[in-house]
Amino acid sequence: MIPYAAPLADIGFLLKRVLGLDAILAGAGHGHSAADVDAVLAEAGRFAAEVLAPLNRVGDLNPARLDNGVVRTPPGFADAYRRFVEMGWNGVAADPEHGGQGLPMVVATALTELWNSANLSFSLCPLLTQPAVELLQRHGTPAQQATYLKRLIDGSWTGTMQLTEPQAGSDVGALKTRAVRENGHYRITGQKIFITFGDHDYTDNIIHMVLARLPDGPPGVKGISLFLVPKFRVRADGALGERNDLRVVGLEHKLGIHGSPTAVMAFGDDGGAYGELIGEPHHGIEYMFTMMNAARLSVGTQGVAIAERAYQQARDYALTRVQGRALGDRRPGAPAIIRHPDVRRMLMLARVKIEAARALVLETAGALDRARQAPAAARDAAIARAELMIPVAKAWSTDIGVEVASLGIQVHGGVGFIEETGAAQHYRDARITPIYEGTNGIQAADLVGRKLGRDGGAAMRALIADIAATVTALAAEPGDDIAVMAGALGAGRAALAAATDWAVGRHDDPRDVAAVATPYLELVGTVAGGWLMARAQLAALAALATGDDPGFHEAKLITARCYAEQVLSRADGLARTVMAGGRALLALDEAAF
C-alpha cells in the first residue's frame, strides 16, 4: 500500500478561494485566521500520513476482536488514539466554553477527510464522538453538559449513537428497547445492533446515546425518547462509579473496516441499564437527527476520503507500471501505463469526481457554519440550504467513493484483485459508506419526499438560481475551457429545474416520485458538483490573472472542463430518467421477480 499524502493544496484552494473561509472565520468570532487554518491542516496532514496511514493495513489484517467480554482493537490503534487526543484533534470544532477550539465546521470537515483517508477504521471512533458532542451542546441539560461534555470533547471518553435493532433495521419506529423511570433516572432494557465502536480499549468510559420507548410512548417514531447511557456511571465528583448494566454480546464479521469494532449490544441483563433522559419525552428522533445530520455529512466526507486514497494508489501505480505500447507515443521503450488513453480516462474521471465531491461536502459544511452565524433574516435560508444538501453530500459522495475505489482496482488490473497491493481494501472499506447512517436510497427518499415536499421545492429552486448566477458569471469570461463549462452547466441547470418541477408536481403520487428518487439525487449531485467546479474554475482564472501558481490553477481549468464534458453532460439523461417516473419500475407483479 503506497504512502498517503494529504491533498492540502486542493483543500486550501477550496477553503480560501471558493468557499469564503475568511468570512466564515470572522463569523465564528474566535479569533482564528486563515494562516491558523493552514498550520492546522499542515500538522493534521503529517499526523494522518505518519501515524494513522501506516496502521490502515494493520487494522485490515488484525480485526478488532471480543476477548472474554473485552473488545481489543488492532495493534497500535489505542496508542494512536492517545496521541490523537493529546494533540487536541478531537475537539477542534467544539465550543470553547466546554474546552473545544471553536474552529468552523468547514475546517473540521476538511480534517475529517484527512483522518478517514489515512485510516477509515480508526477514524470511525472520533467521527461518532463529534455528533454526541453536538447533541449535548444543543439538547443536554446543564448538569449533563457539566458531567460529560468536557471529557467527550477532549477525547477522555467517546460517544456512540444507538438506533438499530434486529427486528427494525432502518424502520426505527419499530424499535423495542424500553425505558422505565426509576428514582429520577431510567432503566433501559433491550438490544441494539451495528453499533460502531460500541466498546473498545481506547478510553475508560463510553457514552452511549440510545433510542428507547417509554411505557406511555405512542407507537411509531413519535413515541421514541433519547437516553444517555454511560458504560460506567459517573459519581458527583466526576470519578467513575459502578459498571452499568450493558455489554457487548458479539462483534460483526464484515466485508471491510475490519479495524473498527461493530458491536451487538445488550442492555439490562441484570435489571436495566442506568440512563438519563435527553430533552423531553417522545422527542428522541428529533434530537437524534442532530447526531444523524452531523454523522451523514461526515460519512459523505468518508466517501471523498476513501476515493482520494484509492486514487493516490492507482495514480502512483500507473506512473510506475511499465506495460505495452501507447497509441501515438513515439518515445523509446515500453511506457508507463498512465500513457494509455483508457488508463488516463479512469484516472481523470476519478480525479474530477473527487474534486467535485470534496467541494460539495465542504460547501455543505460551510452552509452549516453560515446557518449558525447568519443574522435572523438570513438564517432560515442557510439552514434550508444545509438541510437540502446533507442527503446529497452523504449519498452522492459515497457512491463516488465506491466508484473510484473500483476504478482504482481496474487501473491496477489483475494485481488490483490481489489483497497484497492494498487496492482491494479501499474497495471493501468504501462499500459500507452508502449503507450506514441511512442507506443512500433513504437519503434520496428524504430529498424528494421531505426536502422538496415541505417547501414545494423552494430551497432547491434557490440553489438553481445560484447555479444560474454562476452560468452568467462564466459567460462574461474568455477561454474555451470556461465556455465549455458555461454550456454544460447551463444545460445541467435547465435539466435540474425541469426534473424538480416534475417531482414537485407529482407529489400527489408519492410512489411514482420515490421510484426515481435515486436518479434525482444523482442529478442534483452531478449539477451541484458542476456548479462548484465552475466556481473553482472562476477562482482559478482570478488567481492566474495575478500570476499565482500557474501550474496548479491551469490544472483547475482543465479538470473543470473534463467534469463538464464527461460527467455534467449526463445531466439531461438523468433528468429524462426522473421524468419518466416509476411506472415501468413498479409495473411487474411481485411474483414475476
- 293-317: pLDDT as tens digits: 889 999 999 999 999 999 999 999 9
How many percent of the chain have pLDDT more than 70?
100
Cβ contact 83:46 at 8 Å? no
Q: How confident is the model at residue 220 (pLDDT cuts 50, 70, 90)?
A: confident
Q: How confident is the model at residue 110 (pLDDT cuts 50, 70, 90)?
A: very high
CA dihedral of 158, 163, 164, 170, whole degrees rounded to 10:
-130
Which residues are bridge partners to 38 per DSSP?
Answer: none
DSSP for residue 580? T
Say if residue 428's pLDDT is above 80: yes
Residues 6+ apart with CB under 8 A from 569: 488, 491
Say if residue 170's pLDDT is above 80: no
Q: What are the pLDDT digits (tens) for 333-348?
A: 778 999 999 999 999 9
Cβ contact 395:226 at 8 Å? no
Q: What are the pLDDT digits (tens) for 3-47?
A: 999 999 999 999 999 999 999 999 988 899 999 999 999 999 999
Other beta carbons within 10 Å of 8: 15
Q: Which of 113, 165, 308, 437 is catalytic?
A: 437
As a whole number of angstroms, the distance between CA 413 and CA 57 comes to 20
Say if residue 1's pLDDT is above 80: no
As a whole number of angstroms, the distance between CA 258 and CA 7 comes to 25
Residue 169 pLDDT: 74
Read off the pTM: 0.96
Nearest to 503 by CA among 453, 467, 466: 453
Beta strands in 423-577 (DSSP E): none
The mean pLDDT value of the chain amounts to 95
Higher-confidence residue of 193 and 95: namely 193
Other beta carbons within 10 Å of 388: 24
Q: State phi, psi for 207 to the nearest 5 degrees.
A: -110, 110
Active site residue 437: yes
Q: Tell me the average pLDDT across 398-424.
A: 97
Residue 33 pLDDT: 96
Residue 87 pLDDT: 96
3-state secondary structure of 276: strand
Q: State phi, psi for 303 to the nearest 5 degrees.
A: -60, -45
Q: How confident is the model at residue 119 (pLDDT cuts 50, 70, 90)?
A: very high
Residue 190 pLDDT: 96
Other beta carbons within 10 Å of 589: 6
Residue 172 pLDDT: 80
Residue 323 pLDDT: 86
Q: How confident is the model at residue 290 (pLDDT cuts 50, 70, 90)?
A: confident
Q: Report residue 17 as a C-alpha cell.
A: 478561494
As a whole number of angstroms, the distance between CA 105 and CA 102 comes to 9
Residue 168 pLDDT: 79
Q: Is 377 exposed, middle or buried (0-12, 13-18, 19+ CB in 10 A)?
A: exposed
Grid cell 455528533 is found at 131
Grid cell 489483475 is found at 414
Which residues are bridge partners to 246 per DSSP?
Answer: 267
How many percent of the chain have pLDDT more than 90?
90
As a whole number of angstroms, the distance between CA 33 and CA 15 comes to 12
Say if residue 374's pLDDT is above 90: no
Q: What share of the chain is helix, strand, coil (3-state, %, to 5)?
A: 65, 10, 25
Nearest to 200 by CA among 264, 260, 133: 260
Residue 508 pLDDT: 84
Nearest to 357 by CA among 387, 320, 395: 395
Residue 291 pLDDT: 86
CA dihedral of 416, 422, 423, 424, whole degrees rounded to 10:
80
Residue 130 pLDDT: 94
Say if residue 378's pLDDT is above 90: no
Q: How confident is the model at residue 292 (pLDDT cuts 50, 70, 90)?
A: confident
